Structure 1
Amino acid sequence: MLRNTLISCVPVLLLTSTSFAAEPSDWELIRDATNRQRLIRITDEPHEMDDSTNKACRPFGFDANLIHDGYGQSAFCNVYVNEKGKRALIDGLNHYPQGSMIVKSKLRSKSDRDPELYTVMRKMGSTFDAQNRNWEYSVIDGRTRRILARGRIDSCISCHARYAETDYITRVYMKQDDGEPSVGPKPGLRNQMQ
């Protein structure tokens, strides 16, 4: 009888560990998104954000004046990707593999080193939010490393939906050799990877 009980518990344990692997804990998300040494930097220098993006990339209900108000100045960001999403981002593909993560570390000025905010997109499993390509969005405070918002964030979804051709990922921060935003791969970065 004990043997039958143990055998019947094994599938439950396997299912439980599988579901945890698909959705990282808050601690794992913070660790993976804020450790810039573990990510691949895409931007050569901080990218100046559009004012509309600057205001939209914040958690719902959060005081916009506390993030990137900049006293009339622009906000900037550095963009990073993890190993799983690197090829899709570089090549401008229309599908990212599950586990892909793209991080924007947002800066108050171009010369700042410490981000005041991280916005994160992580590609989840096929049942997470299929209607919106299964991206989980997160906003993490740069100073306290606390998650301010996480999940299916409507403001993030509505902004990124216009980039459906590239699986909801904007690539405006990727520059061609002539300095114009790239719609294809970034030549310099591609050469570094080969």
Structure 2
Amino acid sequence: MTNLSNIVEILAQQALGNAAQQNQQGGLGGILGSVLGQFGNNAPSANAQGGLGGILGSVLGQLGGAGQQPQNTSAGGANTSSLLFAVLPLVLAWIQKQGGLQGALDTLRGQGFSSQVDDWVSTAPGDNAAVQPQQLQSLFDDAEIAKIAQETQAPKQDIYNAISSVLPQIIDSLTPQGEQTSKTEANADIQQVMSLVSGFLKR
């Protein structure tokens, strides 16, 4: 079992604040329901063509501007915590597009991120090595980034900033035993989270 669900729970709780705490007894599903269930019905059906990332971006864009005004708010409205959660499915979908965790690690190393990847996968204590947002621009589809930026009313740079924060956490959480972590297990956990999020958005 990887730690992916733990990271998702943390990001979800940060995105929703206190409301997520009330649903802790429901585990990951309960928290995702808290974040997405309340707002999923408000997401315009037109966003269905935008894929999971687009829909989630729309949902969290509304969440970011609704009622609560966190201190960390981008120029357009969506708060930083919401953006971190909004890019989560985008990052997970990107890993799947690379053929799973091993393919994603190979792609990142091929793009010059070998030292960072080694640090993220390592089980040694300490913070994950940072990656600059602009370095990630060639990895992700600009159209998908633009769509999330539009729907969260945040600048594209903020989306890349969020990805640069989330990506190391995701890779770290997917490799709790370092290189010995089962890639098959990690890929199954990615699919489980994607299915959970997708399931809530379809309600």
**TM-score, normalising length: structure 2:** 0.27
Give the number of the structure whose alpha-carbon radius of gyration is greater: 1
Q: Which structure's residues are more often strand, by fraction?
A: 1
Q: Which structure's residues are more often helix, by fraction?
A: 2
